[in-house]
Amino acid sequence: MSPSLSPNTSAAGHAGLRLLAVHAHPDDESSKGAATMARYADEGVRVKVLTCTGGERGSILNPRMDRPGVVEHMHEIRISEMARAAEILGVEHEWLGYVDSGLPEGDPLPPLPEGCFALADTEEVTAKVVAVYRRFRPHVLVTYDENGGYPHPDHIKTHAVSVRAWELSGDPDYRPDLGEPWTVQKMYYTHGFIRRRFELLARAEEEQGNLTAASALERWNDVPDIMPRVTTRIDCAPWFSRRDAALRAHATQIDPEGPFFAVSTELQERVWPTEEFELADSRVPTTLPENDLFTGVIPD
């Protein structure tokens, strides 16, 4: 049974609308705005995730998955994990087809691997993204900000191509071979890592005497304060359990004993029951702040 709807929104009010979230790797969709997507899917919105890379270079971050054969079959495993996560969230899914760039570390940084997504021609990738926009015809687009949410080369590339496609998809003179022009009405940046949220959760854990969980949240103390950029907060606490289940579906990348699960779902629902977004651009009138990504959207 689906969670009950938020009091300020009816399922009928969202039926027939479409939302596209563009992400860099499988698992990004489950850690950034997942409860919002699950809520909208339950409310009748067609929600689709476009994943730019296969996540082939992701490290095995769950000790239980560090076993023979996993690395050799990482590509196939991550495809299977993504399919399961999409099923849990109730969303459609499409692969853009590029190869993960990895996360180079060191000083100086080593070069990116040949043939990876971050090195792909931006205009070539943009054309492929435009084709998805025109085929799916989203009313709302969710992507990353200019810093990629965090400065992973694939996240920054995802920002570049999704925003460029936002500009070009509705232009009838741009690549008519890619389908009928489609103008997306609103574009949001997803902000999944809110320092104030982690501070409040840590304080709540300390008040309950759970110093272990409070300590686990210290890793987020240096996250930049993004709240001044937030324009839109979506009430989605009843869908946090779906978000968590989707995260756990990415078993190679998500440790069920790790920091994502340091705080109980029940405490998160009480202390910070929303997910945060920034209205990056809009072609329809709206009033800020918002509590709905579809405020002002004109159905087709």
Q: Which residues are part of a known binding site?
A: 25, 28, 155
How high is the pLDDT of residue 214? 72
Write down the pLDDT at residue 10: 40
Cis bond before residue 289 (omega within 30° of 0):
yes
> Known binding site for Zn(2+): residues?
25, 28, 155
Could you report the per-residue pLDDT of 2-61, keeping only the tens digit for each?
333 333 344 446 889 999 999 999 999 999 999 999 999 999 999 999 999 999 887 776
Ordered domains of the chain (ranges, CATH): 11-194+226-263+273-282 (3.40.50.10320)
Give the pLDDT confidence score for residue 250 in this predicted structure: 96
Pair 41, 90: CB distance under 8 Å? yes
d(CA 33, CA 277): 8
Q: Tell me the per-residue pLDDT of 157-180, one tens digit each, with 9 for 90 and over.
A: 999 999 999 999 999 999 999 999
Residue-wise pLDDT for 71-109, tens only, equals 778 889 999 999 999 999 999 999 999 999 998 888 888
Per residue, the 3-state secondary structure of 61-83, as one string, reads: CCHHHCCCCCCCCHHHHHHHHHH
pLDDT higher at 244 or 192: 244
Q: What is the pTM of this model?
A: 0.92
How far apart, in whole angstroms, are the C-alpha atoms of residue 298 and residue 17? 9
Q: What is the pLDDT of residue 161?
A: 98
Residue 239 has pLDDT above 90, yes or no: yes
**pLDDT, tens digit, 9 for 90 and up, residues 177-217:** 999 999 999 999 999 889 899 889 988 988 888 877 777 77
